[in-house]
Amino acid sequence: MPRAILTRRFPPALVEQLTAAGIDITRHNGDEPMPRAGRLEFVCGADAIVTTINDRVDDGLLDAAGDSLKLVANFGVGYDNIDLDACRARGVLVSNTPGVLTDATADLAWTLILMAARRAVEGERMVRGGEWRGWAPTQLVGVDVTGATLGVVGAGRIGCAVARRAAGFHMTVLYAHPRNQPELDRIGAQHVDIDQLVAEADIISLHVPMRPETHHLISRERIAQMKRTAILINTARGPVVDEAALVDALRERRIFAAGLDVYENEPRLAPGLVELHNVALLPHLGSATEGTRTKMAEMVAANVIAALSGKPPLNPVTA
């Protein structure tokens, strides 16, 4: 019986579908990452390992799994937790879950845009803390989203979905991407370079994958080029932003606000970030809806079942 290791508690569809396909499952059944001690023994003899963003798949883990390993099936679209060269060198396939989480993640980016622009965190805190003394003309005034300029950095599936939603807010859309994105050109978005985008956009939303070349793409220098009224949204990967530089800019009011769902060293935050009022902080909720997580589980199951029956996975990672 082929054996799949699950490094975490996943939506029930995953276990149900693997079990129905006759795959033996060993799982670490908690919401926390597997403890470091015992992690290598746990994966020993696996045919497939189902991983998340918190599982580093490197030489050590692959060696511990051994020659039986055929597939690393990542529960997520991003795969920066996986050393692809190390997998390739051992003939281990890698799969991910593209497409099914696009809308949920785009919706969450918009949640953060509206929270940050309309100072929703401060307002919520005021009401809940019993500090609200009634309506006032100058109380917690934010910035307009309707009619503003949205800058989308990275126009892949999620970046395009975020840009599409801007039509409802009558926004001008700029996008920075290695090549033209016909879908965005059709809706009148302008393809610009990232330096023009950071200087001109009112709301900058990040949707690039985590690669060596995107590390600190939003650097201290680029943050310094943003408008004083700018809002920075990150639902991509934490290290795309120089988090310490962002904290300084928010503290000194050099930009208006930020909305973050991802962090450089999750779950730890950069010193000073939690004390700031002009930032909305969410705990990496991009794909966290019942429907989306179930679709991700089904996609992972389909990939594992294919690979363990000697077929190519449906969503191979080849980059």
Q: Give the residue with the Cβ less far from ligand 8YV, 204 or 262.
A: 262
Identify whether the C-beta of residue 281 lies closer than 8 Å to the C-beta of residue 260.
Answer: yes
Calculate the CA 315 to chain-centre distance: 18
Point out which span in 69-77, 129-137, 172-180, 268-276 binds ligand 8YV (CB under 6 A): 69-77
Q: Which of 69, 101, 171, 257 binds ligand 8YV (CB under 6 A)?
A: 101
Separation of alpha carbons 293 and 307, rounded Å: 21
Count of positions on this chain that bind ligand 8YV (CB under 6 A): 9
Going from the C-alpha of 136 to that of each of 118, 133, 141, the distances in angstroms are 15, 9, 10
158 binds ligand 8YV (CB under 6 A): no
Assess 14 for contact with ligand 8YV (CB under 6 A). Answer: no
Choice between 106 and 171, CB closer to ligand 8YV? 106
Q: Is 237 among the residues known to form the active site?
A: yes
Q: Which is nearer to ligand 8YV, 76 or 151 (CB)?
A: 76
| CA nearest to 299, candidates 317, 285, 286 | 317
Sign of the dihedral defined by the CA atoms of residues 7, 11, 14, 16, in that order: positive
Our CB check for ligand 8YV shows the closer of 86 and 285 to be: 285
The length of the chain in residues reads 319
Within a 10 A sphere around the Cβ of 191, how many other Cβ atoms?
Answer: 15
Location of structure tokens 């801007």: 166
Beta carbon of residue 184, minimum distance to ligand 8YV (angstroms, whole number):
21
Asked if 225 is part of the footprint of ligand 8YV (rule: CB under 6 A), the reply reads no
CB of 80 to ligand 8YV, least distance (A): 8
> Is residue 52 involved in binding ligand 8YV (CB under 6 A)?
yes
Q: Which of 221, 266, 268, 277 is catalytic?
A: 266
The answer to the question of residue 287 lying near ligand 8YV (CB under 6 A) is yes
> Does position 75 bind ligand 8YV by CB under 6 A?
yes
Determine whether 284 is an active site residue. Answer: yes
Any catalytic annotation for residue 275?
no
CB of 6 to ligand 8YV, least distance (A): 12
Name the residue whose CB lies closest to ligand 8YV.
76
As a whole number of angstroms, the distance between CA 151 and CA 308 comes to 42
Of the candidate residues 2, 78, 151, 313, the single one contacting ligand 8YV (CB under 6 A): 78
Q: Which is nearer to ligand 8YV, 100 or 163 (CB)?
A: 100
List the one residue from 208, 286, 301, 303 that touches ligand 8YV (CB under 6 A): 286
Q: CA torsion angle for 144, 149, 150, 153 (degrees, to 10)?
A: -140
Of 52 and 294, the one with the shorter C-beta distance to ligand 8YV is 52
Residue 78 C-alpha from the chain's centroid: 7
**What spatial distance separates the first Cα and last Cα of the chain, rounded to whole Å?**
31
**Catalytic position from the list 8, 177, 237, 293:** 237
- What is the rounded CA–CA span in Å between residue 103 and residue 183? 16
Quickly tell me which residue has 């023994």 as its tokens: 41
Phi and psi, residue 30, nearest 5°: -145, 175
Distances, alpha carbon 231 to alpha carbons 122, 150, 225, 256, in Å: 15, 10, 12, 6
Active site residue ranges:
237, 266, 284
